[in-house]
Amino acid sequence: GGCGQGCVAILGAAGFLGQRVAKVLAARGLRLRLADRFPVVDPPAGAEVVTGELLDTLEDVIAPDTTAVINLAAVVSAGAEADFALGYEVNLGGLRAQLERCRHLGTQPTFVFTSSLAVFGAVSAVDDETATMPQSSYGTQKALGELLVNDYSRRGFIDGRTLRLPTVSIRPGAPNAAASGFASAILREPLAGVRTNCPVGEELEIWLASPRTATAAIVHGFDLAQAELGSWTALNTPGITVTVRQMVDALRRAGGDSSLIAWKREPAVEAIVGSWPARFQTRRANSLGFPAADDLDLLVSTHVNEHVSH
């Protein structure tokens, strides 16, 4: 893993996790190339920024000096379900273009692919040997990516590793349209004194990671030596299983006003989120030294410290 003396390309660097990963790696003094179709706001000093569509900029982003690629760019769940062709074009076609570019470079860069719990079907509990039977186009595209990254690694074209991340909460910023958006909104909005709706029941279980936990998992995945991964390169990264009620209890402990949450169930959201597994075992990640996940109180207090004005 890692990048030696070369340049680390971060694809999707304008996103929330991309910005965090870039900061951590810049603090180590690594050379960074930050690529996104959107402008990267406030990039770390010295980082090169490439703005444009992936296929138009690919040869500049994954270049002969690129020793590592961190792939955080994707059409996300609701988008891939709403636009079938676009999801495959970006999430499969774009990934294949990146992998082919790496293969033709012939330099075997480290390649960190981020996957999702959406690769699993409606199973009650998940471990590192659970079959991927996705029930969405996004989950299908992530499962396709896991297989491709594994095969390109096995053939020696990349040093690949796939990290299946939990739902990330608390995401900063405005509410988004993702079915999992409430998992951030029911904490973030009341902490900012804003009303929100919880579309699911308080008994629902969710598999969560804080932004700090998810960032640490990506960076640790980047650092791993290929040999540690064995014959299969995908693994579940650490998270916590929590109920919505436990999340609201943590909100109250942090001084948030839980009466700002309305409880109007939305069957469409419940159907999607309720089909995701929430009980994960992360044995491989634990044995490979991935940092343990922040608990709920740390998850909330970190957000307050970073994003809530006092």
Which residues lie below 8 Å from residue 198, measured CB to CB, with a gap of 6+?
Answer: 182, 186, 244, 261, 262, 263, 264
* CA-wise closest residue to 132 among 122, 116, 143, 124: 143
Which residues lie below 8 Å from residue 73, measured CB to CB, with a gap of 6+?
Answer: 11, 12, 15, 35, 36, 54, 90, 94
User: Among residues 27, 42, 45, 129, which is the contact residue for a second copy, using CB under 8 A?
Assistant: 129
User: Among residues 40, 69, 118, 144, which is the contact residue for a second copy, using CB under 8 A?
Assistant: 144
User: Among residues 15, 134, 221, 238, which is the contact residue for a second copy, using CB under 8 A?
Assistant: 134
> Does the footprint of a second copy cover residue 135 (CB under 8 A)?
yes
- Tell me which of 113, 138, 157, 290 is the catalytic residue: 138
> Does the footprint of a second copy cover residue 162 (CB under 8 A)?
no
Please give the residues from 214 up to 233 whose contact with a second copy meets the rule CB under 8 A: 231-232
> Does the footprint of a second copy cover residue 272 (CB under 8 A)?
no
Taking a C-beta distance cutoff of 8 angstroms, is the pair 217, 279 a contact? Answer: no
Smallest gap from residue 133 Cβ to a second copy (A): 5
Angle in degrees, 0-180, between the axes of helices 54-61 and 95-105, rounded to the nearest 10: 30
Separation between Cα atoms, residue 68 and residue 282, nearest integer Å: 25
> Does the footprint of a second copy cover residue 121 (CB under 8 A)?
yes
> Which residue, 119 or 250, is less far from a second copy as judged by CB?
119
Confirm whether 138 is a catalytic residue.
yes
**Alpha-carbon distances, residue 265 vs 96, 201, 258, 262 (angstroms):** 39, 7, 16, 9
> Does the footprint of a second copy cover residue 130 (CB under 8 A)?
yes
- The letter for the amino acid at 289 is G
* CA-wise closest residue to 299 among 222, 234, 231, 207: 207
Smallest gap from residue 232 Cβ to a second copy (A): 5
Separation between Cα atoms, residue 293 and residue 141, nearest integer Å: 26
Binding mask 48-87 vs a second copy (x if CB under 8 A, - otherwise)? ------------------------------------x---
> Which residue, 122 or 292, is less far from a second copy as judged by CB?
122
Residues contributing to the site for a second copy (CB under 8 A): 84, 103, 121-122, 129-135, 137, 140, 143-144, 147-148, 150-151, 154-155, 231-232
Catalytic residues: 138
